[in-house]
Amino acid sequence: MSKEDISSLLFTRQSVCDNISDMIERGLKIFVFYLSVLSICRVIFIFVLSDYMDPAAGLQDIWLAMSAGFRLSMQTAGIMMMITMIPGVLAHMAGGIRAEKRVVMVVSGAVLTTLSILFVASFPYYRQFHAKFNQLMFNTANDDVYALLVSLVYEFWLPLRLAAACLMGFILWKLLMWFLRRHTPHIAEDLYFSFLSRCRYASRLRLMIMLIILPVLAVLVFFGGSFSWKTAIDWENAGVTRDDLLNEAILDDYQAVYRAYRLNDRLLACNGLNFTTDQIRELAAELSGKPADSDNLDSYITRSAGGSQLEQPKHIFLILSESLAAWPLLDRYEELHISDGLRSIIEADDTEYCRYFLPNGASTVAAMTAIVTGFADANLYLTTMPEAYEAPYPTAAAPQFKRLGYETNFWYAGADTWERIGAFTLAQGFDHFYGRGSMETRDNGSVWGIEDEYLYRNVLQRVSRDTSSFNVILNVSNHSPYDVDVIAKGFNPEAVRKALPEEEQDNASLINQLGHYWYADQEIAKLVNKLKEKYPGCLIVIAGDHADRYNVEKRPGMYEQYAIPFIVTGAGIHKGIFNKAAAGSQIDIVPTIIEMIAPKGFSYEAVGTSLTKGNAAGVNYGFWINHFYIGEADRNPLEPISIEGAEPEFDEAAMQHYIDAVRSISWWRAKYGPVLNPELLEDR
């Protein structure tokens, strides 16, 4: 072989090594850029939302959040880099360096624009849900998309935010292109390039150095900034600070979306519940007080009424009110005067009120399914399950009230296509469903439905005095885009402004939201008076559908954020009809009504328990409550948080058994039916 051939071969090898080294270097630069952007976004997120940070959190907590977030974002940046570079490498193999650059430009632009959109969206999302992103974002496909879009436009300025996000994405993309065109910094040249330039095998040595760096970085990316799974950080263990905002900031926007996806995936696939049939049998027996000697789950949830506590009413009205939280009913918020209607109802002698009460979930659909089916939130989306349309569940409310002689009606202010609510309620046994389209008296309302006063007017006009009826009434006015003209209806924003903390007195959005609570409260009070007048002896039940939408405080306590009111009023109701230590959730509403009105020995099925029979705990998708404490249901061990300062002994084992029982029974009965057959779990 001639010197020229050897030189040509060495040059070819050197060119290949240089090309590979250049591609790896571009990938590393893209990784560094993405990681820097994610870290800067984290700083901005904390700074802009610092009002939501606990005053006790200091620089040490912020540093802890930043360092943990940096480690976690190494994983995100690594994935973003691979999404950008892998198509680029394939393009390079097919068409050379120019093709690679074009592909990298396009893909990186899409990645950065998506990141920018998520970053801009994370601020209003956190203000609404106290989380960057959660599984509710995946409910869009089941929701009224048009109504949701209108809410986003009017309440959250979607076009402006989207334009700002696109501009941010463009600027970041231009910066990345500039960064990729720049030569490697001189400090790096000083470290090894000057040495390599004098080395005969410079290209191969450079490639070797790159190949050493690459696997080390790959390990850090794979384990979330660690070299082992033992110290790895992921979305499930990232909450290492004592502040909720900082814990959310640790998750970059892509990680927050991934968390939401995983939680939603668990919900749909039931992966979050891993009870065996033996465990369910024992839990059901413990909950019912029966021996664990049957594989028929229905035998444990079958109850016998203890005997009516009031004369059976001819009409029952269950008002499920949008975003009706319990916190405005606390004494310290009385000066806001947004809950005067409910307060007047609660103070009446014919009313009983349980303030230790939880919704079934974080959305209206969870509340609706709790009332309609009687099942607790158990990682199932019942309105999408074929089983729910085959026949009513044995715990369903409508068939049981039919056996008590009632015609069953469901009244909804919105469209019957929302969450398939019309088809779902009829499939679960309701005789009639009345949605927005079938309302005889209506206004234009909002995209979600007609205003409360017109919904109630339809109920009053169409419920016959002569036919016994059980009516569920679901309103929508206290919901974004919060476009009811509440001032025209009598709301005094200036009076509310003066009662707010000084830092919130210029918060026009919050004042408008409080005005919508005031409107819902006033219309419920008017409806209650009219129902009692038109249907003497009727029973009226009032509950919120959920609570976690807005608060006066930036950092509300767990009770203030999640608790809802539960009120019963009407002939025969009196103070003390509930157990003194009564607490519950929405699955306990129907059993409470049945135990109040059903004759002794009436057989019914329920997962929940009547508050008149000593039910002293409530549980939902993420929390539990009793008369003294509230806490997170999935924390191990359970950590009780005092509601009013009283701290009696807490029976953790009993509460854990109750949580497991209502979840496991609801999960199994809804998904697998009445028979506790372990073979059904084999195909999970």
Q: What is the per-residue pLDDT for 64? A: 87
| pLDDT band with cut points at 50, 70 and 90 for residue 362 | confident
pLDDT > 60? residue 364: yes
Q: Burial level of 355, CB count in 10 A (0-12/13-18/19+)?
A: buried
Is 0.95 topped by the overall pTM? no
In order of 214, 252, 372, the CA distances from 103 in angstroms are: 22, 25, 52
Higher pLDDT, 630 or 442: 630
Is residue 319 within 8 Å of 523, Cβ to Cβ? no
Alpha carbon distance 241, 476 (integer Å): 37
Amino acid residing at 562: Y
Give the distance from CA 351 to its chain's centroid. 32
Higher pLDDT, 589 or 269: 589
**Which residues touch 242 (CB under 8 Å, ≥6 apart)?**
54, 56, 57, 61
Beta strand ranges found along 204-301 (DSSP E): none
pLDDT > 50? residue 315: yes
Higher pLDDT, 417 or 174: 174
Q: What is the per-residue pLDDT for 211? A: 60
| Other CB atoms within 10 Å distance of the CB of residue 635 | 11
Is residue 62 within 8 Å of 238, Cβ to Cβ? no
Element (H, E) at 425: helix 421-427
| pLDDT band with cut points at 50, 70 and 90 for residue 155 | low
pLDDT > 90? residue 680: no
Stretch 111-130: mean pLDDT: 88
Q: For residue range 515-569, what is the model confidence (pLDDT) as tens digits?
A: 999 999 999 999 999 999 999 999 999 999 999 888 898 889 999 999 999 999 9
Across 3-12, 401-410, 628-637, the highest mean pLDDT is recorded for 401-410
Compute the chain's Rg from CA coordinates.
Answer: 30
Q: Which domains does the chain have, with CATH numbers?
A: 18-269 (no CATH), 307-652 (3.40.720.10)
pLDDT > 90? residue 132: no
Stretch 172-188: mean pLDDT: 76
Q: Burial level of 502, CB count in 10 A (0-12/13-18/19+)?
A: exposed
| pLDDT band with cut points at 50, 70 and 90 for residue 381 | confident
Nearest of 271, 238, 300, 191 to residue 42 by alpha carbon? 238
Coil/strand/helix, residue 273: coil
Alpha carbon distance 438, 421 (integer Å): 14
Alpha carbon distance 588, 205 (integer Å): 71
**Which residues touch 423 (CB under 8 Å, ≥6 apart)?**
389, 416
Q: What is the per-residue pLDDT for 236? A: 64
| pLDDT band with cut points at 50, 70 and 90 for residue 229 | low
The residue assigned the tokens 């068409």 is 95
Higher pLDDT, 412 or 219: 412
Amino acid residing at 650: F
Q: What is the per-residue pLDDT for 190? A: 46
Kindly report the backbone phi and psi dihedral angles of residue 406, in degrees, each rounded to the nearest multiple of 5, phi listed first.
-105, 140
Stretch 53-81: mean pLDDT: 88
| pLDDT band with cut points at 50, 70 and 90 for residue 192 | very low
The residue assigned the tokens 């009053």 is 460
Q: What is the per-residue pLDDT for 311? A: 94
Nearest of 112, 40, 114, 121 to residue 81 by alpha carbon? 112
Task: Express as a percent the part of the chain with pLDDT over 90.
Answer: 57
Q: What is the per-residue pLDDT for 138? A: 64
| pLDDT band with cut points at 50, 70 and 90 for residue 9 | very low
Token output for 7: 């030189």
Question: DSSP assignment of 110-164, as one string?
Answer: HHHHHHHHHHHHHHHHHHHHSSS--GGGGGGGGS-HHHHHHHHHHHH-HHHHHHH
Alpha carbon distance 293, 572 (integer Å): 39
Higher pLDDT, 239 or 482: 482
Q: What is the per-residue pLDDT for 200? A: 46
Q: What is the mean pLDDT of the chain?
A: 86
Alpha carbon distance 622, 635 (integer Å): 9
Q: What share of the chain is helix, strand, coil (3-state, %, to 5)?
A: 55, 10, 35
pLDDT > 70? residue 674: yes
Q: What is the per-residue pLDDT for 481? A: 85
Task: Express as a percent the part of the chain with pLDDT over 70.
Answer: 83
pLDDT > 60? residue 435: yes
Sign of CA dihedral 656, 660, 663, 665: negative
Nearest of 128, 118, 120, 140 to residue 480 by alpha carbon? 128
Exposure string of 447-459, with b = 16+ CB inside 10 Å and e = fewer, is bbbbbbbbbbbbb
Coil/strand/helix, residue 284: helix
Alpha carbon distance 346, 353 (integer Å): 6
**Which residues touch 57 (CB under 8 Å, ≥6 apart)?**
241, 242, 243, 246
pLDDT > 80? residue 328: yes
Is residue 482 within 8 Å of 151, Cβ to Cβ? no
Question: DSSP assignment of 315-373, as one string?
Answer: EEEEEEETT--SGGGSGGGGGG-SSHHHHHHHHSTTEEEE-SEE-SSSSHHHHHHHHHH
Q: Lowest mean pLDDT of 147-156, 227-236, 282-291, 443-452, name the range.
A: 147-156
| pLDDT band with cut points at 50, 70 and 90 for residue 207 | low
Question: DSSP assignment of 596-618, as one string?
Answer: HHSPTT-EEE-SS--GGGT-B-E
Stretch 648-664: mean pLDDT: 94
Kindly report the backbone phi and psi dihedral angles of residue 532, in degrees, each rounded to the nearest multiple of 5, phi listed first.
-65, -30
Alpha carbon distance 375, 382 (integer Å): 9
| pLDDT band with cut points at 50, 70 and 90 for residue 625 | very high
Token output for 643: 């509601």
Alpha carbon distance 340, 68 (integer Å): 46
pLDDT > 60? residue 421: yes
pLDDT > 70? residue 276: yes
pLDDT > 70? residue 641: yes
pLDDT > 80? residue 598: yes
pLDDT > 70? residue 408: yes
